Structure 1
Amino acid sequence: MRTPLRDTWTYRIAAFLVVGVVFTACGDDSPDPAPVPDAGTEVDAGTEVDAGSDDAGVPDAGDNEPDAGSGDGGEPDAGTSCEPSSVTDLLDNGEWDPRFSIGGVSGMDGHVPHIYDLAKTPSGDLLATGYFRWFGAQASTPLIRHQDGQWRPEPRTWSQEIPGGAGFSAVAAKDDTTLALATNDTFGDRGGEVWIQSPDGVQVIGHFTGLVRTMAYVRDELWVAGQFQLEENGAIGLAIWDGTAWKLPPGGPADGSVYELMLQGDDVWVGGAFTRVGGISSNKVAKWNGSRWESYNFPIAGNGVYALTLGDDGTLYAGGTFAYDFNADGVGSIARWNGVRWEMLDGGVSTGFYPGVVTDLVFNQGKLHVGGCFNFVNGQGYGNPLALQANALALWSPESGWENWPQAISPNRTVWYAPSFCGDEPPVTFAVWEVPIQRFLLDGDRIYVAGTLPSIDGAASQSIVSYEGGQWRAEGAEPGHGLSGGAQMLAVGGEQCTVHALGDISHAGGAAVPRTVLQFTDAGWQALGELPDMECLDLAVNAQGDIYVACIDWDSVQSQLLTWSGTEWTSLGDLSAHGFISKLTLDSLGRPWLTSMVESTSRVVRWTGTQFELVADGLDGPVFALALRPENDDPDRPAFVVAGEFTHAGEVPARRIAHWNGTTFEALGDGLTTSPITAAYGPNGIFASTNHEQDMDGNPVQGRLMLGHWDGTAWRELATPENGMPGPLNEEQGGVHSFRKLAFAGTDLVVVGTIFPADGGPTHAYVFNGERFLPIGGGVSALTMDDIALTPDGIWLGGNIAEAGRGENLLPTVGMAHFRRRAAAP
């Protein structure tokens, strides 16, 4: 099953993006004195080319061919170029690398993949369903099955269209081949259909507004529960399909939502937000014993009961969002039935000052396993020495009370947008469906945990993991080389032109990694030693393989330029006199150059090999971009361009961009009318991209350059329809393109950013060949595009990337994308 590229999260919510629901998708990048940095094989660290002479005062557009050059005696060698030999040939004969999938399941760009529900068939197969469309590198329906010891996509494809195209929120199995499914539209008005899938095909048996949370077969009848109203008979919260028609619960309807169904022998327990069900009064919890309803009236205030389970001794436990006083004691949301009434369980769960939320419960091996949205158990978190920290998972036993769930740590990252719902928001938001820890399923002694979680501990499998015997295990698809988190910084260097990555990454290729630089080799990702506890802003690697990372040490409140010795990270030297680093790049011989800021003034500094040396000073504002001219008569004194939020470069008036000719600053015409995002210096001259901004009256600032080229006398906009760049989506509502990174391969300019063509064409990644913009491999689907690196075998892109390609060539590529020369057929 393949899905066209236009069916992406960002396209489907584009109208919302324009007005700022997700600013990064249709807006521009806000300037920052230390933005997410340039890195990798940048325009200013490539092969030596002439970009115009200095004697004209202002650089011309340049017209010479690249020349690798050679170092002077005693100087470092520039090394071999890592650029592709021909970008044009690569675009004509390239393909996206399929190796960068992840474990578990994955989906389109934007909204995080989600497993909403788990079920077991009579023969013991496990089912998982939700919102996803990839199983490893394989296209998948939003339903997977665990059979004979391994997960695989449910092999059926449906002629029946899923309303909204998102997936399913609930699943139940009548037998091994007959399943009930409730559809879910993540993006549109909440509503859907109830399906029966059998060997004969799909039968749509019901339609509803709202969402279904759980379903179960009870003596061959399908019970459907959730926050919904069924169109066919008007049932609210709970409806029953008897095989031919819909009916109300025995005795009468529920008068509110039903979030939980628990089956125990002939008994059916229901939990929710109702006050009556089956003709009896019973607040939030009731039981159908096969012949009549029994009340377990739950008087504690709150949104409702989301989970029920029974202990080994038959004690009934309830979880959800409830408290005696939401503002006073800050605890609640888990209770037990003592045989007469409900009582809060040992201080409950807390987010700190307020009660937490419990989304599911399971009792196993004498302990109650608790999942949801909470930070503490055993009382209010702050100022309470008895409270235990807990990251959404905890254990409780009748003998010893609360304890930590072993290894239940998840400082784990994802490239997708995860709504920050906890489950205690107003019911109209359907918040409980978006809690990261969503569902448990007990199979023997193994507990499956599902939701939007990217991983737990070392088990990196998006949306589903399992726990048994004190160990967490990955579930779903086997991982490829994809990343948990995006590669915000890329660099290429060393004799083998090795790709290096740095970013907010917790797992690479399914393995947990420290916060450090990763190297991609034939064996996959290799992590260097953990970086010091600093904020690291930029990455660069030279042809000799020297690795540099620019960081700020907030403990000592100063910048450090770190290098990898082969065994540890060491500082190059004292930078305290130069303030805080904002940008890092390399000169043509592989030596670091920096921009930094001292109080309100920025400067350019270089590393001579023994010390930091001031090159230029007097920029009266922060610098966002530094790009060196690739070819210079004296490699110690290259020309360069800086861009930022300044008005003067030394004594020279220069609005937001200035050129250093080797001895002095000079203006580039009237400068830039809006804040710059990035700049590049290549064989064809100087290029800059800027933000879309509005004046005090709310009107767009005129003269903004999406991608401007300094032709030697004036700035010229390149990103025009005449040059092959299609107009932006929803342009009339303020939709714009913005280019975040630029990198030269010879005279071709690789550009990435927020690019949403109005015609539904390729997104986010293009090459400008001097005449036209050409898409890279059908485009990339991503929340952010953060960096570019070039190697002889292709173009590497980093960011919050989920997919690449179009149509039949669409594939998952998570955190990283690599467009390579097409592999020869065997």
Structure 2
Amino acid sequence: TTVGGVTVNYIAKWDGHNWSALGSGMGGVGPPTSPDFPSVNALAVSGTNLYAGGYFTTAGAVAANFIAKWDGNKWSALGSGIGGAHPLVLALAVSGSDVYAGGSFTTAGGMAANYIAKWDGQSWNTLGSGMNGNVYALAAWGTNLYAGGAFTTADGVAANNVAQWDGSDWRALGLGMNGGVAALAVSDNNLYAGGWFTSAGGIVANNIAMWDGSTWNGLGSGISGVSQGKGDGGILPPPLAPYVSTLAVSGGNLYVGGLFTRAGGVVANGIAKWDGNNWSALGSGMNGGVKALAISDSNLYAGGIFTTAGEVSVNSIAKWDGSNWSGLGSGMSSSSPLFPPMVLALAVSGSDLYVGGAFATAGGVPATNIAKWDGTNWGALGLGMNGSVGALAVSGGDLYAGGLFTAAGNVPASYIAKWDGTSWSALGSGVGWISSFVEALRTSGSDLYVGGVFATAGGKVSEYLARAVLGDAPGYNQLRGTLLPGGATQFCYVGDPTTNYALDRTFELTPPISWVGLQTNSMTVSGVLLFTNTPATGTNNFWRVRSVP
């Protein structure tokens, strides 16, 4: 909940010198002391916009279901976001004007979308029938989108934990992996995949491998060592098993982060570099798990759950300048000592670094699950999300965020949302299922691909993977409820700023229906209206919003 002494809620920005909040950050799903506290799991940058995905239902004061967009000034939702039983956005990717979201969800924008979906700027789109398991990573390469996770089929095609989408069809990459894929990165004509596996395409490959377009190759003896760190909060392998959770490419170098102690026989704690031939350590590494990596100019940023980088004290985020580690202000903090702050996603847009995860402050600035670092200060993206952000992607001037949330700012957004630099907006009705979240996002041209755990996107069936076509999003009139401590329910409604609205309740939907008026409120200038109501106990409760004179 804090970073660098600045109050932030699960997302913050580092400008090179100071931390700042992104509005009031993320929230909505539960207090930090509960198992359902908000988090930002993924970040992606498009132009001047930052997208955040994770576990939250608000971004700033805007309702945003697990994905949201920060435009530099305010949060907005991406339609109605994503949904499901326990929705969560874990990965974001941008390709052109499209944002892709992956994770654990079964709906996007109210339509069926299984674990992956695409936001095109106006609505959610499916990628075939999606996957049959979680999507943890997305990467765009030319006209192709690559998805990694824990699945065995993509649109019915046998594909072991990794697959390629060419815009029309899914195909397998050889025999795939014998374990989960948590990270993907592209360099030249090669695709790198990291996770928890011991073979790729039938050859020995310990937790890291390279696809050259036709075959899989190992990187030396790979990543090994029993992890002893704090973990990274992700849906990953069993405890103490070494694994790779994030990858980043700079020039001819591949940077690998995760939970491990050795890389190719070299002692490397949680982070290492592959130069194409050999492994090397980055100082003495971290004392915990590394979940996210991002490169800006000659600097490498690392986020996760750790308190030291090299010999320097840091809080969940640090910078490597090629020789030494340093902190970004005072880093992140949470609002509860029971849960350490987690950085789950990073995205770079120009000189700005966007950070998503599960935290309340960035550099001391209030920033709920998402924040921006401009090189000097931390800043909030509106009110942030009401759940964690696990994936970020940038497209043009927009930032897309996916994760485990239902609101971005005050905008209802189901697990995915867009930040246009000023406010958050939903991507249609988002994604959903019984237990949904977005794990990965990637953009390609005017398409946004979304991967994760979901079965619908924008109301259409799209298992684990979906596509959204980006553009000017239309307005959405949806009533969304959030259970507050004490049993009260807060309803968020986005409507016409010139119209007044009333909240009604009934206990039975069998005709004739008897509606009872509860509250009448004037719409705010922003078009967002909040009602708070305590439901009657021991009965069914149904609510509606209607316009009144």
Normalised-by-shorter TM-score class:
0.5 to 0.7
**CA–CA separation in structure 1 for the residues paired with 2:63 and 2:151:** 31
1:308 aligns with 2:247: yes
Choose the corresponding residue for 1:105, options 9, 20, 26. Answer: 26
Write out aligned runs for 1:34-45 (5 A).
none
Instruction: Report if the CA contact (8 A) 1:163-1:193 is conserved.
Output: no
**CA–CA separation in structure 1 for the residues paired with 2:268 and 2:204:** 27
1:391 aligns with 2:297: no
1:317 aligns with 2:317: no
Task: Give percent identity, aligned residues only.
Answer: 24
Deviations along 1:561-602, whole A, 9 cap, x unmatched? xxxxxxxxxxxxxxxxxxxxxxxxxxxxxxxxxxxxxxxxxx
SS at 2:161's partner residue? strand
Instruction: Report if the CA contact (8 A) 1:194-1:206 is conserved.
Output: no
Q: What residue number does 1:740 align with?
A: none
C-alpha distance 398-193 of structure 1, shift in aligned 2 (>3 A): closer
Q: What residue number does 1:182 align with?
A: 102
1:118 aligns with 2:47: no
C-alpha distance 806-235 of structure 1, shift in aligned 2 (>3 A): farther
CA shift, 1:129, in A, is 2.0
Amino acid at match of 1:805: T
**CA–CA separation in structure 2 for the residues paired with 1:204 and 1:368:** 33
Choose the corresponding residue for 1:235, options 159, 165, 168. Answer: 159
**CA–CA separation in structure 2 for the residues paired with 1:162 and 1:151:** 23
SS at 2:383's partner residue? coil
Deviations along 1:655-684, whole A, 9 cap, x unmatched? xxxxxxxxxxxxxxxxxxxxxxxxxxxxxx
CA shift, 1:358, in A, is 1.0
1:245 aligns with 2:169: yes
CA shift, 1:304, in A, is 0.9
1:166 aligns with 2:87: yes
Instruction: Report if the CA contact (8 A) 1:335-1:342 is conserved.
Output: yes
**CA–CA separation in structure 1 for the residues paired with 2:147 and 2:187:** 17
1:369 aligns with 2:301: yes
CA shift, 1:458, in A, is 2.6
**CA–CA separation in structure 2 for the residues paired with 1:439 and 1:261:** 13
Deviations along 1:360-418, whole A, 9 cap, x unmatched? 2223343332221222233xxxxxxxx3322222233334x33x31413444426xx97
C-alpha distance 324-217 of structure 1, shift in aligned 2 (>3 A): closer
More strand by share: 2
**CA–CA separation in structure 1 for the residues paired with 2:485 and 2:124:** 41
Write out aligned runs for 1:511-550 (5 A).
none
Write out aligned runs for 1:136-155 (5 A).
136-147=60-71, 149-155=72-78
1:460 aligns with 2:366: yes
| Structure 1: stretches of 5+ with no match in the other structure | 1-100, 351-355, 379-386, 421-434, 480-752, 764-776, 779-802, 809-824
**CA–CA separation in structure 2 for the residues paired with 1:246 and 1:455:** 40
Instruction: Report if the CA contact (8 A) 1:195-1:206 is conserved.
Output: no
Q: What residue number does 2:147 align with?
A: 224
Q: What residue number does 2:469 align with?
A: none
CA shift, 1:438, in A, is 0.7
**CA–CA separation in structure 1 for the residues paired with 2:339 and 2:321:** 32
SS at 2:85's partner residue? helix
Choose the corresponding residue for 1:277, options 183, 188, 200. Answer: 200
Tell me the TM-score normalised to structure 1 length. Answer: 0.38
Q: What residue number does 2:56 align with?
A: 132
CA shift, 1:455, in A, is 1.3
**CA–CA separation in structure 2 for the residues paired with 1:244 and 1:368:** 35
Deviations along 1:180-222, whole A, 9 cap, x unmatched? 3335259xxxx95322344565336345455322212323222
Instruction: Report if the CA contact (8 A) 1:107-1:131 is conserved.
Output: no
**CA–CA separation in structure 2 for the residues paired with 1:106 and 1:345:** 34
Q: What residue number does 2:284 align with?
A: 347
Instruction: Report if the CA contact (8 A) 1:119-1:126 is conserved.
Output: yes
Instruction: Report if the CA contact (8 A) 2:348-2:354 is conserved.
Output: yes
**CA–CA separation in structure 2 for the residues paired with 1:219 and 1:365:** 22
Deviations along 1:707-736, whole A, 9 cap, x unmatched? xxxxxxxxxxxxxxxxxxxxxxxxxxxxxx
**CA–CA separation in structure 1 for the residues paired with 2:99 and 2:333:** 36
CA shift, 1:462, in A, is 0.5
**CA–CA separation in structure 1 for the residues paired with 2:124 and 2:356:** 27
**CA–CA separation in structure 1 for the residues paired with 2:41 and 2:348:** 15
Instruction: Report if the CA contact (8 A) 1:117-1:214 is conserved.
Output: no
**CA–CA separation in structure 2 for the residues paired with 1:454 and 1:754:** 18
**CA–CA separation in structure 2 for the residues paired with 1:463 and 1:221:** 30
Choose the corresponding residue for 2:289, options 357, 374, 398. Answer: 357
CA shift, 1:477, in A, is 3.4
SS at 2:27's partner residue? coil
**CA–CA separation in structure 1 for the residues paired with 2:59 and 2:180:** 33
Instruction: Report if the CA contact (8 A) 1:164-1:184 is conserved.
Output: no
Instruction: Report if the CA contact (8 A) 1:103-1:477 is conserved.
Output: yes
Deviations along 1:424-452, whole A, 9 cap, x unmatched? xxxxxxxxxxx711111111222111101
1:805 aligns with 2:517: no
C-alpha distance 348-477 of structure 1, shift in aligned 2 (>3 A): same
**CA–CA separation in structure 2 for the residues paired with 1:478 and 1:318:** 29
CA shift, 1:279, in A, is 5.0
Deviations along 1:14-53, whole A, 9 cap, x unmatched? xxxxxxxxxxxxxxxxxxxxxxxxxxxxxxxxxxxxxxxx
SS at 2:361's partner residue? coil
Q: What residue number does 1:767 align with?
A: none
Write out aligned runs for 1:372-521 (5 A).
372-378=304-310, 387-399=311-323, 401-402=324-325, 404-413=326-335, 436-477=342-383
C-alpha distance 363-194 of structure 1, shift in aligned 2 (>3 A): closer
Q: What residue number does 1:629 align with?
A: none
**CA–CA separation in structure 1 for the residues paired with 2:48 and 2:189:** 20
**CA–CA separation in structure 2 for the residues paired with 1:367 and 1:173:** 22
SS at 1:205's partner residue? coil
Instruction: Report if the CA contact (8 A) 1:334-1:345 is conserved.
Output: yes
CA shift, 1:292, in A, is 4.8
CA shift, 1:461, in A, is 1.1
SS at 1:108's partner residue? coil
SS at 1:253's partner residue? coil
SS at 2:362's partner residue? coil
Instruction: Report if the CA contact (8 A) 2:90-2:102 is conserved.
Output: yes
Amino acid at match of 1:169: L
**CA–CA separation in structure 2 for the residues paired with 1:471 and 1:260:** 29
Q: What residue number does 1:552 align with?
A: none
Instruction: Report if the CA contact (8 A) 1:333-1:348 is conserved.
Output: yes
C-alpha distance 154-318 of structure 1, shift in aligned 2 (>3 A): same
**CA–CA separation in structure 2 for the residues paired with 1:206 and 1:156:** 21
SS at 1:162's partner residue? strand
CA shift, 1:463, in A, is 0.6
**CA–CA separation in structure 1 for the residues paired with 2:168 and 2:275:** 40
- Quick one: higher RCO (CA 8 Å, sep 6+), 1 or 2? 2
Instruction: Report if the CA contact (8 A) 1:372-1:392 is conserved.
Output: yes
| Structure 2: stretches of 5+ with no match in the other structure | 1-21, 107-112, 227-241, 386-483, 491-503, 506-529, 536-547
**CA–CA separation in structure 2 for the residues paired with 1:317 and 1:469:** 22
Give the root-mean-square deviation of aligned CA atoms.
Answer: 3.9
Instruction: Report if the CA contact (8 A) 2:103-2:136 is conserved.
Output: no
C-alpha distance 224-151 of structure 1, shift in aligned 2 (>3 A): farther
C-alpha distance 279-445 of structure 1, shift in aligned 2 (>3 A): farther
Instruction: Report if the CA contact (8 A) 1:141-1:153 is conserved.
Output: no
**Paired positions, count:** 351
Amino acid at match of 1:464: I
C-alpha distance 173-394 of structure 1, shift in aligned 2 (>3 A): closer
